[in-house]
Amino acid sequence: MFEPDTDNPFQLFDRWYREACESEINDPNAMTVATADADGRPSARILLLKDFDEHGFVFYSNFESQKGRELTMNPFAALCFHWKSMRRQVRVSGPVTRVSDEEADAYFNSRPRGSRIGAWASQQSRPLADRPALMAAVEKADETYPDENVPRPPYWSGWRLTPLAIEFWQDGEFRLHDRFRFSRQIEDAPWSVDRLYP
């Protein structure tokens, strides 16, 4: 049986995340990111969490991609982490805001050069004629920025999800799972905690 031993969900997430980093074979920072368009039609994809603290959870994207357009139109999202080896899941939801240019630049510059070139070459989520067209765009970007100094594209940056709800799920025998939801009305408000039926 699992019982939270803190009233701060960020502390609990940090502990679960560190345990996942030790137990998961691949990408413990992988998460489903769900967004919705202006009509409320949802879409979801797997991204990698790049940072988190008590201000929120950070991921990066091309603002002109489907998720980027949807987050611009409807600045709310939901995340879901699933750590299969630990039989745990964490769900997070709340509003999103763009990270600062300084934060985005620092992360972009930490990426391998090939990934930075790829950010210039990819018109993410838009139709692509064929693979050679993509490789031609990579070659062009590589020629434009021939050394390590590859600037961040103006359409590429990060989002920070500030959670208003974080739910922790621990698998239980006979599907009698332990579920706890931390919730608050606004950022910086105190958290309330509820145990949920499985």
Q: Residues with catalytic annotation?
A: 175
Short-list 75, 72, 76, CA closest to 62: 72
Q: 115-120: long-range contacts (C-beta < 8 A, 24 or more apart)? A: 116/145, 116/150, 116/152, 117/141, 117/142, 117/145, 117/150, 119/62, 119/152, 119/153, 119/156, 120/144, 120/145, 120/150, 120/153
Torsion (CA) 23, 27, 28, 29 in degrees, nearest 10: 170
Instruction: Compute the chain's Rg from CA coordinates.
Output: 19
Take residue 165 and report the two structure tokens written for it. 């709800």
Q: Round to whole Å and give the CA distance between 161 and 146.
A: 35
In the chain, the N- to C-terminal Cα span, in Å, equals 13
- Say which residue the tokens 């958290």 belong to: 191
